[in-house]
Amino acid sequence: MRYGIYGPFEIIRNGNIVSRNRLDKKDFWSRVENKAVDLSYACGCYLLIINNKVWYVGMAEKQSFRQECFGDHKIVQYDAALNEVRGVPYLLMVAKLTPSGKYASPSENGHRDIQLLEQLLIGSAIIRNPDLRNIKNTRLLRNMNVPGFLNSEQGQGRATSVQKLRQALSL
């Protein structure tokens, strides 16, 4: 299974919240389509990025990016992130590709690989930003402590074994 990474695409705001204006959403998707034709109808994962940190990870597997990225629940998460940190919000899209290199389509049955990719992206995002807005399926990741890798505490990264792990994983 192959994926392509597209963006970042700036999200239009109204002050410090995401614009609810239909024309602004239409403009957003026009900009996406200008960069990557038919991307808005693809499936995969998407990331809200502010100040080079991921604040929310979502997946579009049963619906397209266009249908999924600006649902009411997502906009609430984006606004909450924008209230925590000042900066320009962007969406980065990780689209699933077919063997011939076209965008994969959403499926009523979903895509198990997209579900796994979302979990991998959430795990990586929590390492860099413990304030990630995702809640579902993150409890274990937030409570797990692996020195030098996940939720390290002060001083845990000094042991040779921890340094070797970090080196082996290129962290």
Please tell me the distance from the alpha carbon of residue 10 to that of residue 45, in angstroms, as a whole number. 16
In DSSP terms, 92 is beta-bridged to: 47
pLDDT string in tens for the chain (171-residue length)? 999 999 999 999 998 899 999 999 999 999 999 999 999 999 999 999 999 999 999 999 999 999 999 999 999 999 999 999 999 999 999 999 999 999 999 999 989 999 999 999 998 899 889 999 998 878 888 888 888 887 778 878 778 888 888 888 876
**DSSP string of 6-67, one letter each residue:** EEEEEPPEETTEE---HHHHHHHHHHHHHHSTTGGG--EEEEEEETTEEEEEEEESSS-HHH
Radius of gyration of the chain (CA): 17
> Is 0.75 topped by the overall pTM?
yes
Q: Where are the domains of the chain?
A: 2-137, 138-171
Give me the amino acid identity at 14. Answer: N
User: Closest by alpha carbon to 20, among 87, 81, 79, 67?
Assistant: 79
Determine whether domain 2-137 maps to CATH 3.40.1440: yes
